[in-house]
Amino acid sequence: MRWLYAVAMLVGCRSSDPGPTTQLVAYAGDTAIEAGTTVVSHRADGSIIDQQTTDGAGRAAVGFEAGAYVTVIYTRASTIQLVTAPALATGTLAIHGPEPTRASIIAGTLVLTAVPIVADAYSIDLGCITLPVTTLPMYTGINAYCFGHDSNIDVIVRATNAGVLAGYFATRVPVDNEVGMLDIPAWSTVPLEIPVQNDPGASVTFTEVADTLAYSTPAATADTVFAWDGLRADATRVRATLGTAAASQITTQYLAGVPTSVTLSADEFLPAPTTSLTYDGASGFAWTALGIGDVTNLHATWGTIVWDAVLDPSTAAIALPQLGAELGVTAPGSDLATNLRAIDGPDTTGFTDVQAAGIYVEATAAASIVPPPATGDVREATVTGFH
């Protein structure tokens, strides 16, 4: 329990002579500012050096010493996300955390009609949410976060019968005077087939992105992925996985538009991970340094806490910062779960590049860590679990 009380002993108001400081700026997502959140600096063993609060521009200057780390605390509706990274001696570190919990604000109405089809269920996918319905016609409110960069919404309507796809319709719907009208004149029955040259035999998932929103597609096979005819996707992602649940290699291809074919080769994957993660039962984690990729990411969850430590690939140990219950952070319990990842991005070459470009933990699971590319491969080697 010692670490639960450490903040009271080690953290307080800074003196009038704060000594060396490290600078950071905290974002909520890509560009929104995370103002008024807690930032701590600490040592590798978790002991606290300083604690500050980000200002209205998301910036904070916290006490610094050689080898120090910084942790930003993002408090959301259902989780507390901690992001830890080495402190910079010079310059400003940008940390992109998860977006704020979105309020449910109805910004329009979708009115949906269709020609008859033999179906017992329908799903309306707006990218931000998928709505199950049993009959058509129907109407539903459109949440403000279902809009991308304009007043249009991208819609996929799937009709199923006994759980089998009977037909679908995908299109972009203009929303005028807060009303979008969609009348389905005919149903498509077969999604577009995109051949995959899958030399390593990876399992594959395929996602379409339209106006920043992600849309899932029918389950891929070893040699084919499927796309929705009519969806105006401006980007796609191919996620290919090798290995086992305990030790996997994952490559995500970021592609512009919808490809006519997909190629996966063995050299697109990082080497299989061979290290193992140990936990001391209190706050410390250790492993044999991965030594590959641009960055090592220790991802841990327990209770409502999510912790991402973003580290140089040469790092072989880190401890949780000694945060107290007054910050909403509890010690790991029996539900502790971990992933240790080596991550390599197409736009960065080494950890120094990642620090300069900013750290991206915009999701509480499977965050890219490296800057999400417009195109290119993000490669991962992951060890799941600890002993």
Look over the chain and give the mean of its residue pLDDT values, rounded to a whole number. Answer: 93
Q: What is the DSSP string of 264-314?
A: E-GGGSPPPP---EEE-SSSEEEE-----SSEEEEEEEETTEEEEEEE-TT
The band of 16, judged by pLDDT with boundaries at 50, 70 and 90, is very low
**SS3 assignment for 59-76:** EEEEECCCCCEEEEEEEC
Which pLDDT tens digit goes with each residue over 58-85? 999 999 999 999 999 999 989 999 999 9
The rounded distance, in Å, linking the Cα atoms of 299 and 310 is 9
The residues, any chain, with a CB within 8 Å of residue 75's CB and separated by 6 or more, are 37, 328
Q: Are residues 179 and 200 in the same domain?
A: no
Q: Are residues 87 and 33 in the same domain?
A: yes
Which pLDDT tens digit goes with each residue over 126-183? 999 999 999 999 999 999 989 988 999 999 999 999 999 999 999 999 999 999 999 9
Q: Are residues 256 and 351 in the same domain?
A: no
pTM recorded for the entire structure = 0.91
Q: Are residues 264 and 277 in the same domain?
A: no
Q: Label residue 31 left, alpha or beta by phi (over 0 means left) and psi (-120 to 50 means alpha).
A: alpha
Which of 268, 287, 306 lies at the terminal end of a domain, its last residue?
268
If you count them, how many residues does the chain have?
A: 387
Which of 248, 268, 288 lies at the terminal end of a domain, its last residue?
268
**SS3 assignment for 117-163:** CCCCEEEEECCCCEEEECCCCEEEEEEHHHCCCCCEEEEEEEEEECC
Q: Are residues 259 and 287 in the same domain?
A: no
pLDDT exceeds 50 at position 194: yes
Model pLDDT, residue 84:
98
**What is the extent of the structural domain holding 30?**
2-100+271-335+342-384
235, 212 contact by CB (below 8 A): no
* Number of compact structural domains in the chain: 3
Q: By CB neighbour count within 10 A (0-12 exposed, 13-18 middle, 19+ buried), where does 111 fall?
A: middle
Which pLDDT tens digit goes with each residue over 211-234? 999 999 999 999 999 999 999 999
Q: Are residues 256 and 350 in the same domain?
A: no
Q: Are residues 60 and 165 in the same domain?
A: no
Which pLDDT tens digit goes with each residue over 322-371? 997 888 898 999 999 999 999 999 999 999 999 999 999 998 888 999 99
Q: Are residues 160 and 237 in the same domain?
A: no
Which pLDDT tens digit goes with each residue over 263-318? 999 999 999 999 999 999 999 999 999 999 999 999 999 999 999 999 999 999 99
Q: Return the amino acid letter for 379.
A: R
pLDDT exceeds 70 at position 7: no
Could you tell me the sign of the dihedral formed by the alpha carbons of 37, 38, 43, 44, in that order?
A: negative
Q: Comparing C-alpha atoms, which of 254, 259, 256, 154 is closest to residue 213?
A: 154
Q: Are residues 110 and 171 in the same domain?
A: yes
Q: What is the DSSP string of 240-261?
A: EEEE-SSEEEEEEEEEES--S-
The band of 101, judged by pLDDT with boundaries at 50, 70 and 90, is confident
Q: Return the amino acid letter for 314.
A: S
- DSSP-derived secondary structure letter, 387: -
Which of 184, 204, 228 lies at the terminal end of a domain, its last residue?
184
Q: Are residues 90 and 156 in the same domain?
A: no
Q: Which two tokens mark 383?
A: 């060890």
The band of 17, judged by pLDDT with boundaries at 50, 70 and 90, is low
Q: Are residues 283 and 315 in the same domain?
A: yes
Q: Are residues 72 and 136 in the same domain?
A: no
